[in-house]
């Protein structure tokens, strides 16, 4: 098991990106969350097998039809095990 913090830059807010990420992560069986950041980026926290998280990263690099992904950065972290499912967060609690 691994965890990753994935930050997506580009036109990724207001285009259904969070719902897209949640759908993809749920289908892949990952846990965690996706949220908009104040600066226009999207943060994804995913936990699961590394290969599966890498599949999610590939999906996020494409994004939903109205998005324009310019950059995706991934930071690998130890898993916390505190997420039961994959959800959407609607407010930025930390930076």
- 2 contacts: CB under 8 Å, gap ≥ 6: 47, 48, 49, 50, 53, 76, 77, 78, 79
Q: What are phi and psi of 59, to 5 degrees?
A: -65, -40
**47, two tokens:** 């936990």
Which residues are part of the catalytic machinery? 18, 36
């Amino acid at each position: 098991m691994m965890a990753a913090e994935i930050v997506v830059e580009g036109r990724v807010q207001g285009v259904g990106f969070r719902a897209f990420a949640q759908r993809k992560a749920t289908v892949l069986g990952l846990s965690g969350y996706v949220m908009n950041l104040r600066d226009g980026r999207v943060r994804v926290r995913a936990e699961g097998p590394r290969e599966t998280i890498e599949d999610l990263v590939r999906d996020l690099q494409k994004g939903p039809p109205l998005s324009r992904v310019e950059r995706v950065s991934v930071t690998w972290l130890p898993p916390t095990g505190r997420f039961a499912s994959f959800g959407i967060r609607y407010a930025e609690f930390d930076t």
